[in-house]
Structure formats: structure tokens, C-alpha cells
Copies of this chain bind each other. A is one copy, B any other.
Amino acid sequence: MATKRLGTGIRRDQIAEAALEIVRSKGTRGLSVAAVAKKVGIVPSAVYRHFRNKDDIVTAVLQLIQSRLNANFQAVKHQEIDALDKLHRLLHHHIELIAGNNAIPRIVFSEEVLGGMPEKQAELYAIIQDVLSHVAAIVGDAQSVGAVRKDLSPEDVAVAFFGMIQPAAIIWHLSGGAFDLKHHAESAWRLFYDAVRVRGEP
């Protein structure tokens, strides 16, 4: 009735944010075009002025997630600290991101994505590859200053880094918040650090 008209640029952002918020609170099962429209304050059919179809919305949500992840890398990238410290801070940034918005693990592992068409799967794979390559680059830096063992491949270490975050997110989510994410992050980091660093004196 009295809905303000807004350009597609703005609406696309609003819709993607609304979709992310719905996933956070209701899960991907609750992510319907109708729900998104309601949250934005328009009628379902109006959504199709700004997105081809629902899949297109999911893609936009994935991009939103990617941009949030990238923000974490940027936050750490130019700090004048040891490469291993960068990883340590990165770990905490990611843990906080997840703790503040469990939509990320929810959508990343959802059937909406995993069970969908191969293209959607490829989109997510690209995001994860991107994250892994960022981490691997930092590991490479740490190796070149002699902080990390050179007999480890940076890619393998990156997957291990991923392994500190992802299972914890799942357990935390399942536990309804009872699982202590921060404690786990510290304990996992100690293990990781001990495994990865150059020991003693050469």
C-alpha cells in the first residue's frame, strides 16, 4: 500500500541481509521468498523485480558471507605483528564472527548449497578455497621468517586451521551455546601452535 519505492541496488542489499538474518534465526528451512519479502516490507512477487529467483538470493547471501570473511583477513593483514600472531588473531576473529552470527555455518553446510545444483556447490567451494589460500599465504610468510616448520605444506596447514574453527562451530551450535567456543579456540590454538612452530634452537 504505502511502500516506499527503492532502487534495485538498495533492495538487493536489503534482501540479502534479510535472508542472512532469516537463516540465522530460522535456519535455511525458514528461508522462503515470502519470509524475505515480509522482512524487507514488500510483497513476495516484488522480490522478483530484484532477483531472478530464489537461487539468485542464495548466491547473494554467499557473497555477503564472503565479504565478512574477507573483512577478517583485512583486519589482520597490515598489522605489524608476527605471522603466527596473525593466524592467532584470525582464529579469534573467525570464532567471534561465528559466535555472533551462526548463519554462516548454517548456510555454508546447508542443503540449500550442498544439495543444490553443481554451480552453487562450486560457488561455495570457491569461497572456501579463497579462505584457505589466504591462510596458506600467511603460513608461507611464517615459514620464510623461520617461525613455522618448512617441512609442512602451507595448504595442509591451512586445512588444519580450518579444522580448529568448523567443528567447534557445529558443536557449539548443537549445544545451544553451552559449548565454550572461546575456551576451545585457545586450547586448539595451543595444540596447533605446538605442532606447527619451529622448535627449540636449530
Contacts and interface: CB of A to CB of B under 8 A. Distances in A.
Nearest to A109: B109
12 contacts: A109-B170, A124-B174, A128-B171, A156-B188, A157-B191, A162-B171, A163-B163, A166-B166, A167-B167, A194-B194, A194-B195, A195-B195
Interface residues of A, number: 46
A153 B187 contact: yes
A184 B196 CA distance: 16
A168 B159 contact: yes
A15 B153 CA distance: 45
A161 to B, nearest CB: 9
Interface string A102-122: 000110111110111010010
B159 A29 contact: no
How many copies make up the complex?
Answer: 2
Interface in A180-202: 184, 187-188, 191-192, 194-196
Nearest to A157: B191
Interface of A: 26-30, 105-106, 108-112, 114-116, 118, 121, 124-125, 128, 152-153, 156-157, 159-160, 162-164, 166-168, 170-171, 173-176, 184, 187-188, 191-192, 194-196
Contact of A196 (B26, B128, B156, B191): B191
Contacts of A115: 26-30, 106
B159 A170 contact: no
A133 to B, nearest CB: 13
**Minimum-distance CB pairs A-B, first 3:** A27-B115, A163-B163, A195-B195
